[in-house]
Structure 1
Amino acid sequence: MSVQSTIYNTVFKRTSTFALACVASAFFFERGFDLACDTIFNRINEGKLWKDIKEKYAQ
């Protein structure tokens, strides 16, 4: 049994498992993409964000 037939039989054969796989993969992709974008934004703007300069203005 090849990998392709195993994937087909477990995910793509039934509509319910295919829909669940789509929803789960979209959720995890969104979380990963959001984390990556936030990390890139914070690295580009390091030293300019409120969390970096808060001690200068806090009383």
Structure 2
Amino acid sequence: MSGVLSGLYSAFVKRNSIFLATIFTGAFATNIAFDIVSNKVWDQINKGRQWKDIKYRYMQAGDEDEDE
């Protein structure tokens, strides 16, 4: 176990620039993952009540009005 921790330390923490790059990359990836998951949860909770779900009804109604 000590060898694994020593390897992680020398790979990610020993040099400040690599440590900061690891932190920023992790924060960026976490932000993207959180956005994707929260959007999927929101879409699942509000299914059928969003514009993207009901837009086709209004588009079809608009096409019929233009024909008259």
Q: TM-score band, normalised by the shorter chain?
A: over 0.9
Normalised by the length of structure 2, the TM-score is 0.82
Name stretches of at least 5 consecutive residues in structure 2 with no aligned partner: 63-68
Normalised by the length of structure 1, the TM-score is 0.94
User: Runs in 1 of length 4+ with deviation above 6 angstroms?
Assistant: none
Deviations 1:21-47 (A, max 9, x none): 011001100000000000000000000
- 1:4 is displaced (CA, Å) by 0.4
RMSD: 1.0
Name stretches of at least 5 consecutive residues in structure 1 with no aligned partner: none
Match of 2:42 in 1: 41
Amino-acid identity (%): 34
Q: Take 2:56 and 2:15, find their aligned partners in 1: how far apart are those partners?
A: 57
Question: What residue identity is the alignment partner of 1:28?
Answer: A
Q: Which has the higher relative contact order, 1 or 2, with Cα contacts under 8 A spaced 6 or more apart?
A: 1
Question: Which structure would you say has the larger Rg?
Answer: 2
Q: Take 1:3 and 1:34, find their aligned partners in 2: how far apart are those partners?
A: 32
Q: Which has the higher helix share?
A: 2
Q: Take 1:19 and 1:9, find their aligned partners in 2: how far apart are those partners?
A: 14
